[in-house]
């Protein structure tokens, strides 16, 4: 199965992708995580991506598409995909469709997590994450058991530089039109599942699992 999680920044893509990928035996690929890892490693790709990410802008397609297509060629990606944060533009979606079609594959469904924009600023500015294992927390809605420490691995939690209010606003402005354009693109393909992303995280997981169960051929 090859799935895409679509949604504005803070909609809960990363939170839900980790849970669903484990439950469904899919490889979770987040292009945001890939860029942050490259930036932390100080690679040329990471330095270039960082310039855009720190401003809340999209990394150019010519960088992003090549990186993602190379990743999904690897053997561990053949078990199935849970894409989080890709595609983010129509050229990215078209490149993904072409690459998969070349191997006789396709995207099975796109799960569009919908959350009112008024909730997203609070979600993002309160987010903390683990730089070691990637676990995601929130100071109000999902605090760690011990302040500042990851429940999973004990590492010190950090805040993302692009979760400052001014950058969050730019991210929302940047992503709004593209997210709707992508929803239309996949709606026309009959693959879009719109999922209410408000309420408890577990309830949202249940809604996503229910949507997945409606995909033709889904186990």
Q: Residue numbers of the site for ligand AP5 (CB under 6 A)? A: 7, 9-15, 30-32, 35, 52-53, 56-59, 64, 85-86, 88, 92, 123-124, 126-127, 136-138, 141-142, 162, 171, 201, 204
Is residue 88 part of the annotated active site? The answer reads yes
Q: What is the rounded distance in angstroms from the CA atom of residue 135 to the CA atom of residue 92?
A: 27
* Residue among 13, 36, 123, 207 flagged as catalytic: 13
Q: How far apart are CB 162 and ligand AP5 at their closest, in Å?
A: 6
Is residue 74 part of the annotated active site? The answer reads no
Which residues is 138 bridged to in the sheet?
A: 127, 142
Q: Which residue lies nearer to ligand AP5 by CB, 100 or 201?
A: 201
Q: Which helix (H) or strand (E) element contains residue 137?
A: strand 136-138
Q: Which residue lies nearer to ligand AP5 by CB, 59 or 150?
A: 59
Q: How far apart are CB 197 and ligand AP5 at their closest, in Å?
A: 6
User: Are the CB atoms for 166 and 174 separated by under 8 Å?
Assistant: no
Structure tokens at 180: 């709707």
Q: Which residue lies nearer to ligand AP5 by CB, 34 or 109?
A: 34
Sheet of 2-6, strand order = 27-30, 81-84, 2-6, 109-114, 192-196
Is residue 127 part of the annotated active site? The answer reads yes
Q: Which residue has the tokens 């939690």?
A: 157
Q: What is the rounded distance in angstroms from the CA atom of residue 38 to the CA atom of residue 46?
A: 4
Q: Which residues are catalytic?
A: 13, 88, 127, 160, 171
């Amino acid at each position: 199965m090859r799935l895409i999680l679509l949604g504005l920044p803070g909609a809960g893509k990363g939170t839900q992708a980790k849970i669903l990928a484990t439950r469904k035996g899919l490889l979770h690929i987040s292009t945001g995580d890939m860029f942050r890892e490259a930036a932390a490693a100080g690679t040329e790709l990471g330095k270039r991506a960082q310039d855009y990410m720190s401003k809340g802008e999209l990394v150019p397609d010519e960088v992003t598409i090549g990186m993602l297509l190379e990743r999904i060629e690897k053997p561990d990606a053949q078990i199935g995909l849970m894409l989080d944060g890709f595609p983010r533009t129509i050229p990215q979606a078209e490149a993904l469709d072409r690459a998969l079609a070349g191997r006789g594959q396709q995207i099975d469904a796109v799960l569009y997590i919908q959350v009112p924009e008024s909730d997203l600023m609070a979600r993002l500015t309160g987010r903390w994450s683990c730089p070691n294992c990637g676990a995601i927390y929130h100071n109000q809605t999902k605090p760690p058991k011990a302040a500042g420490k990851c429940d999973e691995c004990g590492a010190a939690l950090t805040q993302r530089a692009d979760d400052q209010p001014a950058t969050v606003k730019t991210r929302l402005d940047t992503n709004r039109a593209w997210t709707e354009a992508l929803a239309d693109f996949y709606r026309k393909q009959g693959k879009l599942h719109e999922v209410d992303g408000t309420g408890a995280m577990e309830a949202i997981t249940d809604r996503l699992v229910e949507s997945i169960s409606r995909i033709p051929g889904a186990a």
